[in-house]
Amino acid sequence: MKVLLLTGLGALFFAYYWDDNFDPASLQGARVLLTGANAGVGEELAYHYARLGSHLVLTAHTEALLQKVNFVSYVQLTSRALPSLTDSKGSLVVVSSLLGRVPTSFSTPYSAAKFALDGFFGSLRRELDVQDVNVAITMCVLGLRDRASAAEAVRGVTRVKAAPGPKAALAVIRGGATRAAGVFYPWRFRLLCLLRRWLPRPRAWFIRQELNVTAAAA
């Protein structure tokens, strides 16, 4: 009986989270403002949107500048765009990180900025719902991408393998186009976020399996 119950719950879980009604044609002629389009997932998003026939407005930034204004820039851009998005019943797609849901060692400033994003857009989503404003907010929880600067920054520190940038970007586009509340790439990050609620303080042994502590501290 327990086996059947667990199997049924597992089937419902996969059916709920893997339901996909993405229609690429829905992005033909769509207006897209894309920040950080000069590198990483932002660059891959620009390529995908262009192939899908969207009308793009691109902005760029440097990595150092992004770290300094990470949270503030998101808030300011959202505040300016919200009136237009409200009129057009548009969408906000926020590219965040697993470190905005699950804290880890030696990433305090970055993780704090990403946690702030999750709090801000989570609260904003509720405010829009209460006011019956039809603006979707999609939070994208991504891992390490396979671009050169990201790989170099953590070389010798983490043992986690990078995820392909083009596939991560496509997952973001699918989530935004279907107005999903959240996107997790790779998909196992959803499970990690669920586990974090049950194990808020993982033992150091587990952390060391994916982290070179000596290199990280240096």
Determine phi and psi for 164, rounding to 5 degrees: -60, 125
Written as six digits, the tokens of 37 are: 């389009």
Mean pLDDT calculated for residue range 95-102 = 86
pLDDT over 60 at 216, yes or no: no
pLDDT confidence of residue 153 = 46
CA distance 213 to 204: 10
Residue 145: name the closest of 172, 118, 166 by CA.
166
Q: Tell me which of 100-114, 134-148, 188-202 is least confident.
A: 188-202
Active site amino acids: 110
pLDDT, tens digit, 9 for 90 and up, residues 32-41? 998 888 877 8
pLDDT, tens digit, 9 for 90 and up, residues 36-60? 888 778 889 999 999 999 999 988 7
Confidence of residue 180 (pLDDT cuts 50, 70, 90): very high
Q: Which H helix or E strand runs over 57?
A: strand 55-58
